[in-house]
């Protein structure tokens, strides 16, 4: 009985070894003809450009065992941000990548085999499976938003603004959506920025966003003429920081002009800031000479100080390239000048002239009041005289009539 079992096991091992040998011989004999993957598909889950890519195992290698060869895939896709192809190798049959939906989405994938059946050499399929997805092209032509810009204000909150196209109908309604990996689906702007009664931006003050994460944005809309052409954007907010302006102070110490300023309060790390100091000096001929100096610290000293030549300074900052790929310069600080411009005292008013003006005004008011009083008195006297004269005339006429009759 034991002999029968051992013989059965030996036969199974022999069949397995034979199948492996056949597979290996097939691969080594026809290694240049490894097929590319099949059923390459690009699907959009509604993440505003974050697309899903999937494929299936080529039929010719589905029956290969891991002992014979390991199947790996090389995925290549055109990165519109860099203008070049990006490549990744994976043993999985799916991948996610970021694309600009306003441009063509181009994806291709190869099959790679490696293992004992390939003499431990990597065999790559000569051909590849490729899919090109064209932009949707929906919406009224020329209605994409213009000058889209997002600013991460002192790393406190993000503001995104845009400008309408001239071809956008006046009564159009634009909408703004965003998505990142922490969201299950795209969400609409929490608070729109209105300009002239239309939506021109989005304020994320009450909606914090993650750093070092791709955030996708979409601006679309509708109008009586039809849907507006959508616009898609993707960015990481730490690359759009604009620090707050600093407070600049200066004083003279040991024949040196010392400039000092404070870092802006907030989440911006102090060691991440690069500073730029601007000096504007007025020469004897009245012309201004401007110089700029980049510094790392929050102070700056000038060894030579001339009291005759007046200089004004101001400072601004941005994130260094060690903390972010790019950044916005802050606004300039309020200028500080040396020597300070002497305040010219305002001339004190002459008290004598003031008294004279007051007296003239009082006299003029008295004269006006007297004139008004005289006019009123004359009018009243005229009113009393008119009835007396009328009675006198009537009395005289009556006396004359009586005398005649007598």
The Cα–Cα gap between 352 and 350 comes to 5
Q: How far is residue 239's CA from residue 326's CA, in Å, rounded to a whole number?
A: 5
**CB atoms closer than 10 angstroms to residue 16:** 12
Q: Which of 328-342, 362-376, 381-395 has the lowest mean pLDDT?
A: 381-395
Centre a 10 Å sphere on the Cβ of residue 179 and count the other Cβ atoms it contains: 22
Query: What pLDDT does residue 25 have?
Result: 40
Q: Given a cut of 60, is residue 71 above it in pLDDT? A: yes
Q: Is the preceding omega at residue 51 within 30 degrees of 0, hence cis?
A: no
What the block records as the tokens of 254 is 């040991």
For the segment(s) 243-338, the CATH number from 3.30.70.260, 2.60.40.10, 2.40.110.20, 3.40.50.300 is 2.60.40.10
- The answer to whether residues 37 and 58 touch, using CB atoms and an 8 Å cutoff, is yes
Closest CA relative to residue 234, chosen from 264, 213, 211: 213
Give me Rg for the CA atoms of the chain. Answer: 45
Q: What is the pLDDT of residues 51-62, one digit of tens each?
A: 999 999 998 888
Is pLDDT at 383 greater than 70 in this prediction?
no
206 pLDDT band, cuts 50/70/90, is confident
The closest alpha carbon to 46, from 187, 243, 196, 167, belongs to 187
Beta bridge partners of 188: 177
Closest CA to 329 of 149, 154, 148, 147: 154
User: Residues spanned by CATH 2.60.40.10 within the chain?
Assistant: 26-133, 146-241, 243-338
Instruction: Let me know: does 229 contact 216? Beta carbons within 8 Å.
Output: no
Q: Please report the pLDDT score of residue 32 as a whole number.
A: 46
Q: Which CATH class is domain 146-241?
A: mainly beta
Which pLDDT does position 348 carry in this prediction? Answer: 57
Topology at the third CATH level for domain 26-133: Immunoglobulin-like (2.60.40)
Per residue in 96-149, pLDDT (tens digit) is 999 999 999 999 999 998 877 777 788 899 899 999 999 888 889 999 999 999
Give the strand pairing for 241-242 and 146-153.
parallel
Q: In what order do the strands lie in the sheet with 273-282?
A: 288-295, 273-282, 311-319, 336-338
Report the b/e string of 117-131 with b at 16+ CB within 10 A: bbeeeebbbeebbee
**Per-residue pLDDT at 363 exceeds 50:** yes
Other beta carbons within 10 Å of 252: 13
What's the rounded Cα separation, in Å, for the pair 262 and 269? Answer: 13
DSSP strand pairing (288-295 vs 273-282)? antiparallel
Q: Please give the backbone phi and psi of residue 38, each rounded to the nearest 5 degrees, phi first.
A: -120, 165
Q: CA-CA distance, 299 to 262, in Å (whole number)?
A: 9
CA distance 238 to 341: 41
Please give the average per-residue pLDDT across 305-332, as a whole number: 87
Asked whether 296 and 319 are in contact (CB, 8 A), the reply is no
pLDDT at 341: 63
pLDDT digits (tens, 9 = 90+) for 15-49: 443 444 434 444 444 444 688 999 999 999 999 99
Handedness of CA 133, 139, 142, 147 (dihedral sign): negative
Tokens of 362: 């009082």
pLDDT of residue 347: 54
| pLDDT (average), residues 157-166 | 95
């Amino acid at each position: 009985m034991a002999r029968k079992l051992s013989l059965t096991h030996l036969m199974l091992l022999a069949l397995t070894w034979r199948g492996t040998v056949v597979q290996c011989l097939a691969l080594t004999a026809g290694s240049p003809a490894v097929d590319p993957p099949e059923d390459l598909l690009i699907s959009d889950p509604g993440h505003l450009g974050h697309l899903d890519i999937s494929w299936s195992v080529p039929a010719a290698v589905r029956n290969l065992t891991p002992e014979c060869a390991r199947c790996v895939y090389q995925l290549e896709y055109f990165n519109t941000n860099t203008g070049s192809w990006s490549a990744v190798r994976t043993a999985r049959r799916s991948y996610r990548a970021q694309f600009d939906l306003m441009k063509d989405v181009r994806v291709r994938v190869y099959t790679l085999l490696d293992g004992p059946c390939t003499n431990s050499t990597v065999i790559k399929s000569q051909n590849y499976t490729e899919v090109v997805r064209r932009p949707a092209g929906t919406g009224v032509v020329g209605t994409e938003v213009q000058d889209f810009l997002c600013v991460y204000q002192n790393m406190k909150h993000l503001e995104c603004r845009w400008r309408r196209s001239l071809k956008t109908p006046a009564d159009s309604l634009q909408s703004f959506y965003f998505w990142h990996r922490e969201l299950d689906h795209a969400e609409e702007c929490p608070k729109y920025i209105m300009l002239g009664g239309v939506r021109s931006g989005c304020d994320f003050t009450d909606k914090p966003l993650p750093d070092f994460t791709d955030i996708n944005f979409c601006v679309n809309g509708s109008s009586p003429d039809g849907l507006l052409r959508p616009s898609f954007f993707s960015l990481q907010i730490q690359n759009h920081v604009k620090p707050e302006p600093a407070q600049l102070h200066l004083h003279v110490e040991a024949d040196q002009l010392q400039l000092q300023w404070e870092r802006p309060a907030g989440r911006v790390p102090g060691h991440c800031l690069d500073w730029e100091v601007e000096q504007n000096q007025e020469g004897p001929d009245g012309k201004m000479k401007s110089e700029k100096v980049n510094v790392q610290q929050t102070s700056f000293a000038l060894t030579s100080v001339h009291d005759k030549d007046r200089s004004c300074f101001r400072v601004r900052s941005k994130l260094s390239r060690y903390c972010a790929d790019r950044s916005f310069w802050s606004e300039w600080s309020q200028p500080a000048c040396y020597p300070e411009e002497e305040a010219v005292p305002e001339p004190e008013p002459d008290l004598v002239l003031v008294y004279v003006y007051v007296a003239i005004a009082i006299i003029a008011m008295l004269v006006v009041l007297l004139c008004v009083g005289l006019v009123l008195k004359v009018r009243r006297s005229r009113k009393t005289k008119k009835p007396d004269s009328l009675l006198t005339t009537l009395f005289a006429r009556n006396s004359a009539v009586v005398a005649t009759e007598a």
